[in-house]
Structure 1
Amino acid sequence: MSSDKTILTILNETIEPGESKEVSFDVANLHTSTPVHIPVIIERAKKPGPTVLFTAGIHGDEVNGVEIVRQIIAKGINKPKCGTIICMPVINIFGFINLNREFPDGRDLNRVFPGSPKGSLASRVAHKLIHEVIPHVDYIMDFHTGGSDRFNAPQIRIAEGERKPKQLAKIFGAPFILYSKNLNKSFRNTCAKLGKTLLLFEGGKSFHIDDLVTNSGVNGAKRVLNHLDMLSSKYKASTPKKTPIIIGESKWIRAKYSGMFKAVVKINSKVQKGDALGNITDPYGKLNYFVKAQNTGYIINVNEAPIVYQGDALFHISTKLKK
């Protein structure tokens, strides 16, 4: 833990208590030999305390996560009352430049952890993050969005049975807490094995910034910092409008036909078994198929694509709630 009064040495830079510094997380140049500097913004209070890391942009097309961390920095929320806050708004800068989910080598960064210093470009970034940044932190908040036109309700994902993440997830106050297993070679799974407490936030969709999702992420971050006694007295942590709903199990409702698609149900809403959620039509006026809820539950993801194919995921619905 980095909760003492010593100098913090990270990415070959030293930051003393009370100091602010922007350091660089550099791995490789562009193919044009142009240097790529990935800024890491570090703010340390004079008073000792925990170290919190905010990350986003593990997938280069998930700009709403980047926007959440940007606002945390721009509003000065990252200046702690005690301890240290580290912000990495764009980890996959190579994908972000081209608005691609993956790295130029085609690899998904979130499937190559803990990485290798001699592996692919994505693997080298993962290795550097795990070995040069993560050892210094106590808590991590990692911001993501849905992909491929699938809009996620703001939610925190944790593995069932993780007591500390569950406590912080409730404090974060997103509308939903979703139990999901730690995927092999993911950032979350690797951090869990290292004993680091990580909250994975999902909200919105790729190539899109949504104000409600952004506000949910920023407000949640403030609540967690307030709980850790790190939030500056300049800010107030709001109380969530509702207690987060914990989803133990969920499933995807998939398209029975290919065609033009329109959802009629709103994200976050509770539906009853048999309710119409949307409809699939064809361009010729012959098909009009109503997609219906197969069970009562909460809609936590809606596909906003106008065209879908048979088997495409349309809605993510809860099937079992937990306390």
Structure 2
Amino acid sequence: MKNSKTISILGESILPGQSKTIYMEIAKLHNATKLKIPIVVQRSKIEGPTILFSAGIHGDEINGVEIVRQLITKKINKPKTGTIICIPVINMFGFVNQSREFPDGRDLNRVFPGSKKGSLASRFAYHILTEIMPIIDYAVDFHAGGASRFNAPQIRLAPNNDALKDLADVFNAPFTLFSNNIAGSFRNASQKLDVKMLLFEGGKSLNIDYPVAHAGVEGAKRILSHLNMLAENHVVQSPEKKTIYIQKSAWIRAKCSGLLHDNGFIGLFVTKGTVLATITDPFGKFERKIKAPNDGFIINGNQAPIVYQGDAIYHISKTILNAKH
């Protein structure tokens, strides 16, 4: 445990039992307006681990922001033991612009560990990694699908990491995918600091999906309960099913351009040959069916009304564990 006594973030001290919102200011908008990123810190008087719940590393992934917002407004972030830190919006620049990237065009989730004197995104990554992550034991970073692609609620974690798999079992999202850490990502940089981080994906960009948000909130509560950090006034819901582990998956791509008519199988198990969607031209000349190439779960689907040849349409599992459907 890294925070048994006083902790410090951006030069501000937080004692056991204290609650404080610290504002990170790295740069201003181009019109000289200050842009503050709230870091909400809640500490118990009782010693325990420190956990971070973060979202909005991509500014258009609103569903993750909603999950962390609910953790705060429902006072789930008030710990029985230890410290809970919530950052609902990391990329405030992108959030203001409703865009994925920073104003410099960079993806914040590809520039870690960052640089003190680098690009704007790189400077943010540097301060997050040097000011916040050294005191963190556990973390859940909430994301959503980009480019109109809707993710069924899922946890992603690096393979061959028993400690993370145990946490994923506890979180118990509908699906858990094994995926290698990406160079420059927040998750990869955190692992190098020995922070046990789960990455949650659910919903799509510029959209709030309440069932997905509910899955994220309940998973966070189960993690807190497991760590003996959840206050006794909060009830943990027992999941109906155990998470389905997906070892291998593949994208189904559009073989032609046109209007996409989705048949609503995201999150469901389908058999080989199931018609997942139809692509048509706008003039009634042709219809092309998109069929499942194998039995599997549809864990992501493209909800764009128009697609082009080669676009990723559906993400389907190929090898799964402990699945009962």
TM-score range, shorter chain: over 0.9
| Separation in structure 1 between the aligned mates of residue 264 and residue 102 of structure 2, nearest angstrom | 35
AA of the residue aligned to 1:71: Q
Partner of residue 249, structure 2: 250
Q: 1:8 offset after TM fit, Å?
A: 1.1
Partner of residue 85, structure 2: 86
AA of the residue aligned to 2:61: E
Matched, 1:146 2:145: yes
| Separation in structure 1 between the aligned mates of residue 207 and residue 264 of structure 2, nearest angstrom | 20
CA-to-aligned-CA distance 1:162-201 (integer Å, 9 cap, x gap): 1111111111011000011100110011111111100000
Count residues in correspondence. 322
Partner of residue 228, structure 2: 229
AA of the residue aligned to 2:258: G
| Separation in structure 1 between the aligned mates of residue 151 and residue 313 of structure 2, nearest angstrom | 11
Partner of residue 119, structure 1: 118
AA of the residue aligned to 2:155: I
1:82-231 paired onto structure 2 within 5 Å: 82-231=81-230
3-state DSSP class of the match of 1:133?
helix
3-state DSSP class of the match of 1:47?
coil
Partner of residue 42, structure 1: 41
| Separation in structure 1 between the aligned mates of residue 315 and residue 276 of structure 2, nearest angstrom | 11
3-state DSSP class of the match of 2:250?
strand
Q: 1:239 offset after TM fit, Å?
A: 1.1
TM-score (norm 1): 0.98
Q: 1:3 offset after TM fit, Å?
A: 4.1
3-state DSSP class of the match of 1:70?
helix
Partner of residue 62, structure 2: 63
AA of the residue aligned to 1:2: K
3-state DSSP class of the match of 1:160?
coil
AA of the residue aligned to 2:226: H
Partner of residue 2, structure 1: 2
CA-to-aligned-CA distance 1:206-260 (integer Å, 9 cap, x gap): 0000010000000000000000000000101111111000000000000000000
| Separation in structure 1 between the aligned mates of residue 321 and residue 123 of structure 2, nearest angstrom | 39
3-state DSSP class of the match of 2:102?
coil
TM superposition outliers: structure 1 runs of 4+ over 2 Å: none
| Separation in structure 1 between the aligned mates of residue 287 and residue 144 of structure 2, nearest angstrom | 30
Q: Unpaired segments of 5 or more residues in structure 1?
A: none
Superposed CA RMSD in Å reads: 0.8
AA of the residue aligned to 2:110: R
